[in-house]
Structure 1
Amino acid sequence: MPKAYVYTRHGGPEAEALIDLDRPRPGPGELLVAVRAAGVNPVDWKLRQGFRRPGEGEPAFPVVFGSEAAGVVEEAGPGVTGFAVGDEVFGGTAGGGYAEYVLLTADVTAHKPAAVSFRDAATLPVAAATAYDGVRQLGLPGGSTLLVTGAGGGVGSAAVQIARAFGLRVVGVASEGKKDFVESLGAVHVASGPELAQRVRAAAPDGIDGVYDLVGGPVLAEAAEPLKDRSKLVTAGSPPAAAAALGGAAVQRARTGAVLQAVADLVVRGALKPHVTRAFPLAEAGQALRAVEAGHTLGKIVIEVAA
């Protein structure tokens, strides 16, 4: 039977297990995909702990980890058009990605360009697409200065590169240990920590035209201080109410195949590098989660599944 990495109840790592599961069957609007790689994101362990997305009820255990995957189409469900058996694809999962087989929602799936590896493609549906949506939402004209908090992480590093591709100057907030990485992306590095606003003003004496926050909490409030227009603040790191209190908004996710195709095109052009820094086999999915759950991850971590 196919293998999958799951959590059997809400809790900590003790709730995780690698188990045998029946091969899923695609329903209307779904694709059955043989997984080649799956992205690992902070939301994965947060869901294990009991976090629920808006509108979600109690899950039916066991729950397969993962929100994004890349692989090869095995079967198309009723009503699916534009995809055929054997197509190489990547997209948002309908049933978890840490598995040998996964269901992808066809509307949030795109064809993988031949020039993009499965490993890189698996990182695009969550991190890169979230970055793309936030930068587009801000709508800053070329030459503007964008402040990105959490610039050394998966979403942050993608946001820096996408903003640069859109002609923006970027100030990236990250730990001192990520300085070289952030600067390699084309951003001006500002160290995270107390008195952040003061350091941002020194790095951008002409002011900040937009903020894309990926950290939240006190960092969000400090990042907003040097911002010229508070309506140009978007966060993926705090609840909508926290952003609204400062005059900004939460990122509005498009979740479409068109966005996935757009970020894949940026990868093909060389304007966006996923920066996968570590890859783990499915049997070591728990170690991949621990690396992300510990925080301070550089770039992206993926799980690779043998063909």
Structure 2
Amino acid sequence: MKAAAFSVFGGPEVMRLMEVPDPHAGPGQVRVRVKAAGVQHYDCAIRGGWTPSYGVKVELPQIPGNEFAGIIDEIGDGVTGFELGSEVLGFALLNCYAEYVVVGADQIVEKPAGMTWEEAGGLTGNGQGAYMALEAIGVGPGDTVLINGAAGSLGSIAVQLAKAWGAETVIGTGSERNHDFIRSLGAIPVTYEEGLAERLRKLAPEGIDCTFDTAGGEGLDAAVALVPDKMRVCTFFAYDRIEELGLRIVRGDRSAARLAKLVELHAEGKLHLHIRQTFTLEQAGDAHRAIESRHGRGKIVLRVD
């Protein structure tokens, strides 16, 4: 099969289109013919030489990618609830930038007909990340919520989840060119620039209850200054500042049950994944350059077929 992989650690230029052996489903597993695979900063970190401390063994040449959507074409012994030809979306820790991926049957859910392949391929990672973060900081009815970096793939999902969970006011930081997009998600846009904390006080005179940070910088500093309970501030960006700022560490494993809830919200019209740009497998290096620029709005996805 064809796959986008790297044989040495380095920048986006090390990504290559390769021919690798076809994987096959074992007991409890399915093989999926991939139609789309999401691109995340996690993938870029792996490519750059970072190895997570849990559940991952990087072996060169390595295929990155941790979210996908496609069609089941092989089913291992003991799998129930899915059939050959089932359209699914799911997650893995590696190996999704490929024509085929093998995962456990507990790592996939059915793809609804109304969800595009690009949306399905890019939902799992950022969707579950945003869900875990907002759940950890207790977003709920009546809250005023700040999402720092609201136009990105992670932040834009977080805005929509906060609204779906009953937040009264959602404020989203972003570059001025992204303000219309942030408004379309249901949030009040505000720029990152100096003096952010004072502008936030004017926008939310009764205070900000909780914050999810995806961009660091001025937005995170403002959140720490304005949110009374630091356990209701979560960052998925400035990990090196968590201890210094006294914030909670949010970790968790992805699950099919949580993914199914996200799919349900999409079916209800409460969650939409904005696709910023699509690339082919051969263009995986370009996709990594695009996401590492940290500019733009929404999700970057590889189309595999």
TM-score > 0.5, shorter chain as reference? yes
Supply the distance in 1 between the matched residues of 2:301 and 2:97 (Cα, whole angstroms).
Answer: 10
After superposition, the CA RMSD in angstroms is: 1.9
Verify the 8 A CA contact 1:221 1:246 in the aligned structure 2.
no
Does 2:295 correspond to 1:291? no
Supply the distance in 1 between the matched residues of 2:280 and 2:298 (Cα, whole angstroms).
Answer: 18
Does 2:111 correspond to 1:107? no
Supply the distance in 2 between the matched residues of 1:202 and 1:226 (Cα, whole angstroms).
Answer: 12
Give the CA deviation at 1:261: 0.6
Give the CA deviation at 1:221: 3.0
Counterpart secondary structure, 1:147: strand
State how 1:196-211 maps to structure 2 within 5 Å: 196-211=196-211
State how 1:178-257 maps to structure 2 within 5 Å: 178-216=178-216, 219-239=219-239, 242-257=241-256
For 1:196, give the aligned amino acid: L
Corresponding residue of 1:3: 2
Give the CA deviation at 1:76: 2.5
Give the CA deviation at 1:293: 1.7
Counterpart secondary structure, 2:212: strand
Supply the distance in 2 between the matched residues of 1:165 and 1:142 (Cα, whole angstroms).
Answer: 9
Pick closer, same or farther for the CA change 1:221–1:114 going to 2, 3 Å: same
Corresponding residue of 2:258: 259
Pick closer, same or farther for the CA change 1:287–1:144 going to 2, 3 Å: same
Supply the distance in 1 between the matched residues of 2:104 and 2:214 (Cα, whole angstroms).
Answer: 26
Pick closer, same or farther for the CA change 1:22–1:166 going to 2, 3 Å: same
* Structure (1/2) with the larger strand percentage: 1
For 1:220, give the aligned amino acid: L
Length-normalised TM-score, structure 2: 0.93
Q: Bigger shift: 3-12 or 187-196?
A: 187-196
Q: Bigger shift: 278-287 or 65-74?
A: 278-287
Post-superposition CA distance 1:164-221 (Å, at most 9, x none): 1111121101112211111111101111133322222222111100011112356423
Verify the 8 A CA contact 2:139 2:162 in the aligned structure 1.
no
Supply the distance in 2 between the matched residues of 1:173 and 1:193 (Cα, whole angstroms).
Answer: 10
Supply the distance in 1 between the matched residues of 2:128 and 2:183 (Cα, whole angstroms).
Answer: 22
Verify the 8 A CA contact 1:6 1:63 in the aligned structure 2.
yes
For 1:188, give the aligned amino acid: I
Identity fraction in percent: 38
Length-normalised TM-score, structure 1: 0.92
Supply the distance in 1 between the matched residues of 2:26 and 2:235 (Cα, whole angstroms).
Answer: 34
Pick closer, same or farther for the CA change 1:12–1:141 going to 2, 3 Å: closer
Q: Bigger shift: 211-220 or 91-100?
A: 211-220
Verify the 8 A CA contact 2:147 2:172 in the aligned structure 1.
yes
Post-superposition CA distance 1:259-296 (Å, at most 9, x none): 11111111111111101122122232222222112221
Structure 1's unaligned 5+ residue stretches are none
State how 1:273-288 maps to structure 2 within 5 Å: 273-288=272-287
Q: Bigger shift: 162-171 or 137-146?
A: 137-146
Number of aligned residue pairs: 304
Post-superposition CA distance 1:228-252 (Å, at most 9, x none): 211111221132x633443322333
Give the CA deviation at 1:258: 0.7
Give the CA deviation at 1:87: 1.0
Counterpart secondary structure, 1:249: coil
